């Protein structure tokens, strides 16, 4: 056997062992992130199913940003329900991109957003450096693709299941007892419903937790329709612990005022592959 062939086999074996035996020690994937292989939408419930277009590869956080992660970067925890492993909530869209930029700088990455607070009547003129290595919010398409299971999709209605209770914290199951009947917020208050620690429910096909329920997740774009013009609403997906099930479906396009804080509204972050 030639020397070079032995060397090749040796190196390959080493790489194979080190990469698969301890798959969580993954130098190319940031901690608590998952590499999402791009492609066409495979989830048949998606509005993007059958559309000729490919989602590019990207990394996305396995969990919603927790209050511990928030506190490591930002000066004040705005959350309504306090706990290190709970998702941060009561954050505006602007709060989220500030978090992304601050965390990027702290970790030596190039910030994704250029925030000029002198220009915009809303709050800052936000410019995006799409090639930047820093943290960012997912686009709606990226979110829906990842929540729908990406290339491993089993076409579930909710992220990881057709049975919402198995994958999501919702208004029915986040309190002292299981609620039934029709939605009523006052019943939820009496039942002490609130957010839950991330990662306790079943993950979806790609390994993402809580993409349905717990907190709604801000996405990048303005929400624009025939009746709604650019500049007021930013997109958010996945539903939270307050809304009814219809608003938690993978395909449902949610939104809220960009400057509004809400106790069922948080985010998860992404990074470009390269």
Using CB under 8 A, list all residues that contact another protein: 4, 7-8, 11-12, 15-16, 19-20, 23, 26-29, 34-35, 37, 152, 160, 165-166, 173, 177-188, 190, 200-207, 216, 225-228, 239-240, 242-244, 246-247, 254-257, 260, 262-265
Buried b (16+ CB within 10 A) or exposed e, 29-58: bbebbbbbeeeebbbebbebeeeeeebeeb
Token look-up 């491993």 returns: 152
> Which helix (H) or strand (E) covers residue 222, if one does?
strand 216-222
Which CB sits closer to another protein, 21 or 50? 21
For the CB of residue 134, give the shortest distance to another protein in the complex, in Å. 20
For the CB of residue 107, give the shortest distance to another protein in the complex, in Å. 19
For the CB of residue 130, give the shortest distance to another protein in the complex, in Å. 22
What is residue 114's DSSP assignment?
A: E
Which CB sits closer to another protein, 111 or 245? 245
Which CB sits closer to another protein, 98 or 252? 252
Which CB sits closer to another protein, 97 or 168? 168
Q: What is the 3-state secondary structure (H, E, C) of 24-45?
A: CCCCCCCCCEEEECCECCCCCC
CA pair distance 34, 43, nearest whole angstrom: 19
Which CB sits closer to another protein, 73 or 250? 250
Which CB sits closer to another protein, 102 or 261? 261
For the CB of residue 209, give the shortest distance to another protein in the complex, in Å. 9
Instruction: Mention every residue, 6+ apart, whose C-beta is less than 8 A from residue 185.
Output: 242
For the CB of residue 230, give the shortest distance to another protein in the complex, in Å. 14
Which CB sits closer to another protein, 134 or 266? 266
Token digits of residue 263: 């106790």
> Residue 21: helix, strand or coil by DSSP?
coil
Instruction: Mention every residue, 6+ apart, whose C-beta is less than 8 A from residue 78.
Output: 88, 89, 90, 91, 95, 261
For the CB of residue 161, give the shortest distance to another protein in the complex, in Å. 9
CA pair distance 249, 234, nearest whole angstrom: 18
Please list the alpha-helical segments (H only) found in the chain.
3-20, 67-73, 93-106, 140-147, 164-167, 185-190
For the CB of residue 13, give the shortest distance to another protein in the complex, in Å. 10
């Amino acid at each position: 056997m030639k020397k070079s062939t032995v060397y090749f086999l040796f190196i390959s074996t080493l790489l194979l062992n080190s990469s698969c035996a301890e798959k969580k020690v993954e130098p190319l994937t940031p901690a608590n992130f998952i590499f999402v292989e791009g492609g066409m939408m495979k989830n048949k419930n998606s509005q993007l199913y059958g559309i000729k277009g490919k989602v590019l590869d990207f990394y996305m956080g396995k969990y919603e940003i927790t209050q511990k992660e928030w506190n490591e970067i930002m000066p004040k925890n705005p959350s309504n329900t306090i706990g290190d492993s709970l998702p941060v909530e009561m954050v505006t869209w602007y709060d989220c991109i500030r978090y992304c930029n601050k965390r990027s700088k702290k970790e030596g990455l190039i910030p994704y957003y250029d925030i000029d607070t002198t220009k915009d009547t809303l709050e800052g003129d936000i410019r995006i450096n799409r090639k930047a290595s820093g943290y960012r919010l997912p686009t709606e398409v990226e979110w829906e693709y990842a929540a729908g299971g990406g290339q491993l999709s089993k076409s579930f209605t909710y992220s990881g299941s057709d049975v919402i209770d198995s994958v999501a914290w919702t208004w029915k199951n986040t309190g002292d007892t299981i609620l039934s009947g029709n939605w009523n917020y006052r019943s939820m208050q009496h039942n002490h419903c609130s957010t839950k620690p991330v990662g306790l429910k079943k993950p979806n096909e790609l390994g993402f937790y809580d993409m349905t329920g717990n907190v709604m997740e801000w996405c990048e774009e303005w929400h624009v329709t025939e009746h709604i013009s650019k500049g007021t609403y930013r997109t958010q997906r996945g539903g939270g612990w307050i809304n009814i099930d219809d608003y938690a479906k993978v395909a449902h396009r949610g939104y809220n005022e960009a400057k509004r804080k809400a106790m069922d509204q948080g985010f998860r972050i992404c990074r470009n592959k390269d």
